[in-house]
Structure 1
Amino acid sequence: MSRPKIKSKNDVKEGSCFKSIPVSSGRESYVPQVTPDRHQATARKLKDKLNIATWNIRTLLQKTLENIKQEMERMKLNILGLSEVRWKGAGKITSGGHEIIYSDGTESEKGVGIIVEQTVSKAIKGYWALSDRVLLVKIAGKPVDLNIIQVYAPTANSNDEDLDKFYNDLDTAKTQCKSQDPLIIMGDFNAKVGTEKVDDIVGKHGLGIRNERGEKLIEWCQTNNIIVGNTWFQQPPRRKRTWKSPGDETRNQIDYMMISKRYRNALLLAKTYPSADCYSDYVPVVGKFKLKLKKNSKPFTNIKFDLAILKTNQTIREKYQISVQNKFESLGDAEEVEQQ
C-alpha cells in the first residue's frame, strides 16, 4: 500500500537525552514498587465505564497540580496520565483524595505519572517505574485486570539510542502484562501517524503528515497488536490536535490513546478537550472506555469466641480439652524451667 511522503524530522519540540533514575525507595527503577498480584482477595464491581485521559502538562508544580485536579473533576476523569511531570525520583503520594504515581529522573527532567480518583485508587494492584519515560500501573478488573502504560517519548533532536531505549522500556512494560488483560498505552509519542489508514492499526481520522517517528510507532503497534485509538473517530480538527507551537503557527497530533486490538470495542470514543487549561501548550486526549474494575469491600472483623458453649456442649468441651492438653504436653520435652 502506498504511503505519503515522510518528513525527515519530527518538527515538534526539543528535549534532553535519557538518564538512569533511582526510585524513591532506594531500589532500582525496574523493581516493582508494589507487590502486583497477591492483593485483591475480596472484591466487587466498581463501575463499567471509565473516562481515561493523557496530557502533557510540561511540569507538575503545586499550583499546576491543584489546577489539574480541578480539570479532572470538571472533565469527570477517573484516570489521567501525565507527561513531563518533572518530579525527582519515583513513588506514590496522595493529594486531596487523588492518588499520584510518578516516575521521574534525578534532575527533574522529563518524567511521567498517573493520577487516579479515590474510587479507582482502591483497585490499584501495583505499579512499575521503568524509567522517566515509561510507567506501568495495574488495576484490578472484572473479569480481567486493566494495565495502563503512560509514556513520554524522546523528541526530534534526540538520537537513535534514546529512541531505541524508549521502545525497549515499552517492550519490557508490555511483557509484564498478561495477554488476556486489556492494555491501554497512552502519552506523548512525539510522532505523527497522519491521516492514511494502515490495516486495522491506524484509522483515517488522524491529523497531519506522517513522519519517521510515526512510521516507527506504527511498526511497533503492528508487531504488538495495538491500535491507535484516537485515529478511528471522526472529529473536527480542533478535537484532533494535541499540541500547538508558540504563536499557534503549527498544530500537530503527537499524543495518542492506544489499546490492545482484542479490546478495541471497549474504547467508545477518543478526542481532545481544547478547553482544558494547565498553562501548557498541550491539550488532553480523553478516551471513554467500557471496562469493569474491582475494589476491596470486605472490612476487617475481629474474631469472637463463644466461650459459653464450653459449658453447654459436651463434645466441643472434650475436643477443646484434648487440644489444650496436647499443646501443653509438648512442653514436657524442655528440661529447664526457662525453656518451659
Structure 2
Amino acid sequence: MSQNHTETLVNKVKGVCDSNSNPSFGRDSHVQQVAPSRHPASARKIKTDKTSKIATWNVRTLHQKGKLENVVKDMARMKLNIQGLAEVRWTGAGSMKLGSKTLIYSGGYTHERGVGILFDFTTAKSLGSWCPISDRLVVAKLVAKPLNLGIIQVYALTYIRLTENRYEWRNMIANVCSRQGT
C-alpha cells in the first residue's frame, strides 16, 4: 500500500509561493554554511583610490514577500556598492546570491532584530571572510589595497535597553573592533 505525497515549497512567512512555484524570498531554502565563498587568497582587492557608495537602511523586515526584491532594486537605483541592513528579522546566519548581489546576514532564534550586509558584484568579489557575532552584529572583511577593510553592521540597542546592558554592549563592540585591528 503506497501513498502519494505531493510537497509544495512554500515560504514559512505566510505560505506564499512565487509565480514559478518556487519559495519566495523567505530564507530557509537559501541558508548556506557560514564560510567564505572563495579562498581569501583568491579574493580580488578593492582599489581604495575609487569611491565606494555605502549606505545603511533600517528595513523593518525582510520577512515578507517582495521586501528583499525592493531592497535590491533600491540598491541598484541608488548605485550603492555596500548596503548595511538592520531589522532583517531572519533566523540563523548565512549568505545568498541575489543575481549579481551577495547578501550576508545574522539573526537570532526568533524573527526579531537581525542584521545583514548587501554587496554589489564588484565588492562581493573582494569579500575575504565574514562572521555573524549576534542578531545585532555582523562583521565582513574586504580584501583591499593598501589595507584590508572591516565592515561592521550594528543594530544598536534602544536607550532603555542600552542603560541596562551598556557595559556588555560596549565590551562586545570593543572586542569586535580589536579583532578587526581598528
The TM-score by the shorter chain falls in which range? Answer: 0.7 to 0.9
Larger C-alpha radius of gyration, 1 or 2?
1
Deviation at 1:155? 1.2
Out of 74, 79, 89, which is 1:76 matched to? 79
> What residue ranges of structure 2 are gaps of 5+ in the alignment?
1-30
How many angstroms apart in 2 are the aligned matches of 1:42 and 1:157? 41
1:51 is aligned to: 53
**Secondary structure of the structure 1 residue equivalent to 2:40:** coil
1:245 is aligned to: none
Deviation at 1:97? 1.6
Deviation at 1:43? 4.2
Report if the CA contact (8 A) 1:84-1:110 is conserved.
Answer: yes
Provide Cα deviations, 1:212-235, integer angstroms capped at 9, x if missing partner.
Answer: xxxxxxxxxxxxxxxxxxxxxxxx
Q: Which has the higher contact order (CA 8 A, sep 6+)?
A: 1
1:146 is aligned to: 149
2:106 is aligned to: 103
Deviation at 1:148? 0.6
Matched, 1:63 2:72: no
Report if the CA contact (8 A) 1:51-1:77 is conserved.
Answer: yes
Matched, 1:165 2:168: yes
Deviation at 1:153? 1.0
The aligned amino acid for 1:123 is S
Matched, 1:133 2:146: no
**TM-score w.r.t. structure 2 length?**
0.73
Within 5 A, what are the aligned runs for 1:1-340?
A: 33-34=34-35, 39-41=40-42, 43=44, 48-60=50-62, 61-158=64-161, 160-179=163-182
How many angstroms apart in 1 are the aligned matches of 2:89 and 2:46? 35
How many angstroms apart in 1 are the aligned matches of 2:32 and 2:43? 28
- The two structures, once aligned, show a CA RMSD in angstroms of 2.4
How many angstroms apart in 2 are the aligned matches of 1:125 and 1:65? 24
Deviation at 1:75? 0.8
> What residue ranges of structure 1 are gaps of 5+ in the alignment?
1-23, 27-32, 180-340
2:22 is aligned to: none
Provide Cα deviations, 1:184-235, integer angstroms capped at 9, x if missing partner.
Answer: xxxxxxxxxxxxxxxxxxxxxxxxxxxxxxxxxxxxxxxxxxxxxxxxxxxx
**Secondary structure of the structure 2 residue equivalent to 1:157:** helix
Provide Cα deviations, 1:217-271, integer angstroms capped at 9, x if missing partner.
Answer: xxxxxxxxxxxxxxxxxxxxxxxxxxxxxxxxxxxxxxxxxxxxxxxxxxxxxxx
Report if the CA contact (8 A) 1:88-1:107 is conserved.
Answer: yes
**Secondary structure of the structure 2 residue equivalent to 1:119:** helix
Deviation at 1:25? 7.2
Deviation at 1:46? 5.3
Deviation at 1:44? 5.5
CA 34–172 in structure 1, closer or farther in 2 if over 3 Å, else same: farther
